[in-house]
Structure 1
């Protein structure tokens, strides 16, 4: 990885975003009941739990990093015009070496998932295909593009739940939460370069709002202590809506970009809220501990 070293290639993988993908896995474990099982069977289930958590966390690192790196590879010619400072158009990263890296990361993601079970491997392979499909096709589709991107995130949450394959079969519709949320981010992000998309910004805000209703509803159904999810949802609202309101008022690309960045990082809070709904606030806090790391990395590496 040549004269510029490894840093430009790390930039391609969006490290801050990768941390949000790990949060998907940890929330998936909560949905599957794995955190609760570990807490009640810590003598017998401890080692297997940590092995599965490690393998699926490594899997999502490979899948997400490989997928977003392929995004820059696919956009290299356009970025040379609109974002020449990015690693590939600036010449700091080689397109051919980035391709090898990205493909290797995706393969690693699938192989890591296969260490847990066959269901996890199939879901990981599906996420890899969906990610590459978005990079080269989906992003150019006005309606199917956001859905395609949302499905990548849905698959990632299901990857966490796949630690208990029988639960995936019963509760797979929960994957609509990240689908709607990420579809909203994808819609809003289309104004990062040119701005002027107030209707889309409003639509994205309504989609965000629907996530609050669904998560609170899940908490109400899953736990007698459902009110404990409210502080997490309040934090999510604080992270999402102030930058979105500023973007709606100004319609300027830089504020739309800040809104998108906040929403991407806030995926950790979405996952912490889901984890709280299914396994209680201590697990929600564990997931939320990923937030400071993601915020720190966001200062070092681009999020969008």
Structure 2
């Protein structure tokens, strides 16, 4: 039997788009919808799928844009290893972007597209222009905020400003920290990550619904979030490659992965804060699966 052509193995594409990590974006639209008082049902159930498709497009585009850097730093990845051709990765990113926009249009029509189009543009701008610059964390934070607003819709985006800000702040910190995954993290980036974690937790526990059970659930989920995220960030702050040197790259990678996982309990806290306990429980229930799948395929 002849060998399967390189780049056509499904596992190569799953690795390229960090497929399991898309589970960490599904709760964005859930949190946004809960804040806007627009529960996801009927066609609107396709909004989390639109988020996942756009996330995958960003991952494929990321590896296409980083192919030269990855050839030196992460040669095992699908594009630099030759398992997926650069042109195929770029085409895959474009197709996934189109799929995400189509799903958004199906789910929410023009109201959803008024957010999905800027979100798609922000993803492409981040991967092709902003990632090597100091504006990278801000660009990624904007992507996450827009993903939350996708759940609310353009017409009710203002009502979802708190969850959008909380997830944007968290994303800003995780992105800043992730820049030290290969060569070690700067102390300033670790401090930024810790600060944004505390800010996001505070926003998740802030004024929302007046019901005690909702506030209690939000606080519990925020505690899970803080423990998931801040503990690893503190460990990265203490782990030094050399005395007074940068944070150890392995510790930074661990903290980055924990930060990605931390999106899930944060989303659940924000949904509970808005009075949607069912949505919060559904989102939080994804966390064990996210952690298990990350042992098979890294989300970074």
Cα deviation, residue 99, structure 1:
1.2
Confirm or deny that 1:176 pairs with 2:165: yes
Whether the 8 Å CA contact 2:32–2:164 is kept in 1: the answer is no
Q: Counterparts of 1:38-57 in structure 2 under 5 Å?
A: 49-53=41-45, 55-57=46-48
Closer, same or farther: CA 156–198 of 1 in aligned 2, 3 Å: same
Q: Distance in 2 between matches of 1:180 and 1:239?
A: 16
Hey, which of these two has a bigger chunk of helix by percent? 1
CA distance in 2 between counterparts of 1:98 and 1:85 reads 15
Shift of 1:62: 1.2
Alignment correspondent of 1:42: none
User: 1:270 — aligned with what?
Assistant: 266
Q: Matches of 1:134 and 1:60 in 2, distance apart?
A: 16
Contact 1:223 1:277 in 2 (8 A): no
Against the structure 1 CA distance between its residues 280 and 120, is the aligned structure 2 distance closer, same or farther, given a 3 Å change threshold? Answer: closer
| Residue 92 of structure 2 corresponds to residue 101 of structure 1 | yes
Cα offset for 1:260? Answer: 0.4
Residue 156 of structure 1 is matched in structure 2 by 147
* Distance in structure 2 (CA, Å) of the matches to 1:249 and 1:227: 32
Q: Write the deviation string for residues 177-213 of structure 1: whole angstroms up to 9, x where unpaired.
A: 1211101101111111111412220121011101111
| Counterpart check, 1:234 vs 2:223 | yes
Divergent runs of 4+, >4 A: none
1:272, distance to aligned residue in structure 2 (A): 0.3
| Matched residue, 2:6 | 3
- 8 Å contact 1:16–1:265 — kept in the other structure? no
Aligned equivalent of 1:23: 27
Preserved contact between residue 15 and residue 297 of structure 1 (Cα < 8 Å):
no
If asked which structure has higher relative contact order (CA below 8 Å, sep 6+), I would say 1
Q: 2:285 aligns with which of 289, 293, 300?
A: 289
Q: CA deviation at 1:171?
A: 3.9
Q: Which moved more, 1:66-75 or 1:93-102?
A: 93-102
**TM-score scaled to structure 1, two decimals?**
0.89
* Structure 1 stretches lacking a partner, 5+ long: 39-48
Distance 1:94 1:32 in 2: 42
How does the TM-score come out when normalised to structure 2?
Answer: 0.90
Q: Residues 51, 196 of structure 1: CA spacing in aligned structure 2 closer, same or farther, 3 A cutoff? A: closer
Matched residue count:
287
Is the partner of 2:156 in helix, strand or coil? helix
